[in-house]
């Protein structure tokens, strides 16, 4: 499990770590709400970039630029994958072990934050590439997105006295999801549905096909323009 502010807050919500680090209830709540604030900053950043990118869409037929698009998204994808897997592991663990947390719903939300921020960043990176006409602009954009996805880690490392980051470790699943004798989290049917949808999306879509989005999007837009006569600006 990678060490970020989200994962540190997640492990801090465990009953054993609360006793180990002698944390108060208000400190756990503070960690969760700070995580909400960091997640909000990430989403605001990618939303602004998304809106800006949609205003300058081009159909780029330069081979050099399309190769750059693919590899910048691929590198970002390799960065996002382990963090997204951590998010899924967090979701599954709290689903199967809600009795180990003081606030299992809050812990589940931290897993959602971890996974969703990666998906949003990579999607918007692909959309943002469609407004780039220079290789250097695409590379700088990818570096900016890597900073956005690493914001929880950057913030955690900026805190001098933060003992909770030492609580981050490995999550060992000792129960099965379909086991009838396991304790159930509040709104179990909804939490289980969200976990299944996220897990299926990761395995069937995100893991294999996201890096090809930067190549498929301009291809789709070109075909759309040929059919409806509304092709975005073509850059040679």
pLDDT tens, the chain, 236 aa long: 788 999 999 999 999 888 888 888 898 999 999 999 999 999 998 898 888 877 766 665 567 777 788 888 888 888 889 999 999 999 999 999 999 999 999 999 999 999 999 998 888 888 777 777 777 777 888 888 888 888 999 999 888 888 777 778 888 887 777 777 788 888 888 999 999 999 999 999 888 888 777 666 666 665 555 555 555 554 44
Tell me, what's the pLDDT at 69? Answer: 80
What pairing do the DSSP bridges indicate for beta strands 233-235 and 58-60? parallel
Tell me, what's the pLDDT at 234? Answer: 47
- The pTM of the full predicted model, rounded to 2 decimals, is 0.84
Cα torsion angle, 80, 85, 86, 91, sign:
positive
Determine whether 67 is exposed, middle or buried from the number of CB atoms within 10 Å of its CB (0-12, 13-18, 19+): middle
Tell me, what's the pLDDT at 223? Answer: 59
Tell me, what's the pLDDT at 22? Answer: 86
Structure tokens at 126: 């692909």
Tell me, what's the pLDDT at 105? Answer: 94
Closest CA to 79 of 153, 132, 29: 153
**Taking a C-beta distance cutoff of 8 angstroms, is the pair 53, 128 a contact?**
yes
Tell me, what's the pLDDT at 194? Answer: 94
47-50 CB contacts, 8 Å cutoff, 24+ apart: 47/124, 49/124, 49/128, 50/124, 50/127, 50/128
Determine whether 194 is exposed, middle or buried from the number of CB atoms within 10 Å of its CB (0-12, 13-18, 19+): middle
Distances (CA, A) of 30 to 26, 38, 63, 115, 162: 6, 12, 49, 21, 13
Distances (CA, A) of 172 to 15, 69, 107, 121, 221: 16, 38, 16, 28, 45
| Crossing angle between the packed helical segments 104-129 and 63-96, to the nearest 10 degrees | 170
CB atoms within 10 A of CB 7: 29
Tell me, what's the pLDDT at 61? Answer: 58
Tell me, what's the pLDDT at 59? Answer: 60
Structure tokens at 215: 């190549």
Tell me, what's the pLDDT at 89? Answer: 93
């Amino acid at each position: 499990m990678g060490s970020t502010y989200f994962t540190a807050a997640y492990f801090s919500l465990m009953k054993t770590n609360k006793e180990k680090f002698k944390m108060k209830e208000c400190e756990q709540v503070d960690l969760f709400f700070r995580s909400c604030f960091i997640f909000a900053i990430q989403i605001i950043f990618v939303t602004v970039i998304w809106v800006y990118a949609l205003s300058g869409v081009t159909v780029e037929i330069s081979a050099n630029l399309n190769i750059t698009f693919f590899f910048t998204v691929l590198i970002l994808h390799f960065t996002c994958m382990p963090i997204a897997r951590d998010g899924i592991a967090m979701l599954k663990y709290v689903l199967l072990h809600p009795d180990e947390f003081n606030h299992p719903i809050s812990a589940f939300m931290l897993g959602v934050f971890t996974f969703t921020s990666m998906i949003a960043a990579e999607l918007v990176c692909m959309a943002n590439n469609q407004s780039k006409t220079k290789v250097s602009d695409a590379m700088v954009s990818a570096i900016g997105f890597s900073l956005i996805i690493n914001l929880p880690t950057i913030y955690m490392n900026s805190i001098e006295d933060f003992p909770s980051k030492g609580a981050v470790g490995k999550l060992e699943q000792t129960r099965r999801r379909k086991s009838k004798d396991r304790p159930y989290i509040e709104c179990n049917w909804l939490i289980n549905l969200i976990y299944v949808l996220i897990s299926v999306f990761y395995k069937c879509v995100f893991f294999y096909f996201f890096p090809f989005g930067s190549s498929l999007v301009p291809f789709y837009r070109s075909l759309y323009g040929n059919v409806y006569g509304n092709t975005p600006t073509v850059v040679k």
